[in-house]
Amino acid sequence: MERITPYRTYWLVWIVLLALTLSMIVAEGAPLARGLVVSFILLAMLLKVTMIGAWYMHLRLERAALILSVVLATFVTAAALFFLLVPEAISLPQAGP
């Protein structure tokens, strides 16, 4: 890595990460529509992961090729597994509402 990140940045990210975590916990108990809560939590989750990847793992400073390969490979594979399993799971006879 050529460019040096100031220490301050790491701790700013830390504050945001903690705030996001806190907001997730608060949202879980909030009297809102379930769909809204779930979307918010998932969004915050992805945001946290992105921030850790970008700043702490320094993906921000890497080449686009590395970022794309690593991130796409992982997420597309995991998403393929997950989203092709969902229709199967909910169509099983014992599945809940």
Partner 1 sequence: MTTVAMGSSETAAPVAHWQGGVSPFAVSWQKLMMWIFLVTDALLFAGFLASYGFVRLASPAWPEQNEVFPMLKIAAMTFVLITSSATMATAVGAAHRRDLKRAMVFVALTALGGLLFLLAQATEWATLIAEGARLTHNPWGPAPFAAFFFMITGFHGSHVLIGVILLTVVALRLWRGRATGMGVEVAGLYWHFVDVVWCFIFPLFYLL
Partner 2 sequence: MSAEAVHAESFIRRYLFSTDHKTIGKQYLLTAFFMGLFAVGWSILIRIQLAWPHANLPLLSRLFPGLYQDGVLLPERYLSLVTMHGTVMVFFVISFALVSGFGNFIIPLHIGARDMAYPVLNMLSYWTAVPACILMIASFFVPDGAAAAGWTAYPPLSALPQAVPGSGWGQTLWLLGMALFIASFTMGSLNFVTTILNLRTKGMSMFRMPLTVWTLFISSVLGILAFPALTAAAIMLLLDRHGGTSFFLPSGLVVGGQVLEHSGGTPLLFQHLFWFLGHPEVYILVLPAIGIAFDVVAVFGRRPVFGYRTSIWALLVIGVLSMIVWGHHMFTSGMNPYLGEYFSVATVAITVPFAVLGMNLIASLWRAEIRLHPAMLFALAMIAAIGLGGLGGLWLGTASSDMYLHDSYFVVGHFHFMIGVVTAFGIFAGTYYWFPKMFGRMIDQRLGKIHFWATSVGVFFAFIAMHFLGLGGVLRRTYDPTAYEYTASVTWLNLPISIALFLAAAAQVVFLVNFFWSMFRGQKAEANPWEAATLEWTTPSPAPHLNWRELPSVFRGPYEYRTDGRAAGYRSQVVPDEPPAEVRA
**Site string (50-69) toward partner 1, x via CB under 8 A:** --xx-xxxx---xx-xx--x
> Which one of 28, 31, 33, 60 is in contact with partner 1 (CB under 8 A)?
28
Nearest to 5 by CA among 74, 57, 65: 57
Rg of the Cα trace of the chain?
18
| Longest distance between any two alpha carbons in the chain, whole Å | 57
- The entry of partner 1, partner 2, none that residue 33 binds, CB within 5 to 8 Å by partner kind: none
- Alpha carbon distance 87, 85 (integer Å): 6
Residue 31 Cβ vs partner 1, minimum distance, rounded to whole Å: 14
**64 contacts partner 2 (rule: CB under 8 A):** no
